Amino acid sequence: MTFRTSRPLRFGDCDPSGIAYFPSYLNILVGVLEEFFGSVGAPWKELITERRIGTPTVRLDLTFVHPGFHGDTLDFELSVRRIGRSSLDLEHTVSAAGTLLWSACHSVVATSLDTHKSLAWPDDIRAALEKCLETQDA
C-alpha cells in the first residue's frame, strides 16, 4: 500500500524567486510522516504523550530533480520498504502536476522518549506497518 497525500507549496516555503526552499521540504515531510503514522492507527499525539515513543529520522537521502514553485500542489507518495526490529525504511516521491520534483530514502527508528534508546516496534504498530509492506507491490 502506498500512502498518498497532498500539500500546498506556500509563499513561506519559497525563496524570494518563488522556488521552494529545500529545508521547507523537510518540514512538510515531517507533517506527511505524522499523517502516515495516524493512517496506520498510531497517531503521534498518542505515541508521544501516552506511549512515550518517538520516531526520529536516522537517515534521509534526497534527490532533487525539478524545482517546485510557490502555488504548486505537492503530491506525496510514501512506501514502506523494510521493517526492522526498531527501524523503518521508507521511500518518498514528491511530484507536482505529474512532474517528479524529488525523491527520498528515509529511515526512522522507534525510541523510548524516557531513555532515548531504540526499542522494538510494539506489536500493534508492527502489524499495521507490515500490512503496508505486504500489499505495496500487489
CATH number where 19 lies: 3.10.129.10
> Average pLDDT of 129-138?
73
Out of 13, 15, 114, 137, the active site residue is 15
Q: How many domains does the chain have?
A: 1
DSSP one-letter string for 78-110: EEEEEE-SSEEEEEEEEEETTEEEEEEEEEEE-
Three-point CA angle 19, 22, 27, nearest 5°: 120
Instruction: List the domain range (segments joined by +) for residue 98.
Output: 3-135
Tell me, what DSSP letter sits at residue 14? B
* 137 included as an active-site residue: no
Mean pLDDT of the chain: 95
116-126: pLDDT as tens digits: 999 999 999 99
Residue 15 has a CB neighbour count (10 Å cut-off) of 11
22-71: pLDDT as tens digits: 999 999 999 999 999 999 999 999 999 999 999 999 999 999 999 999 99
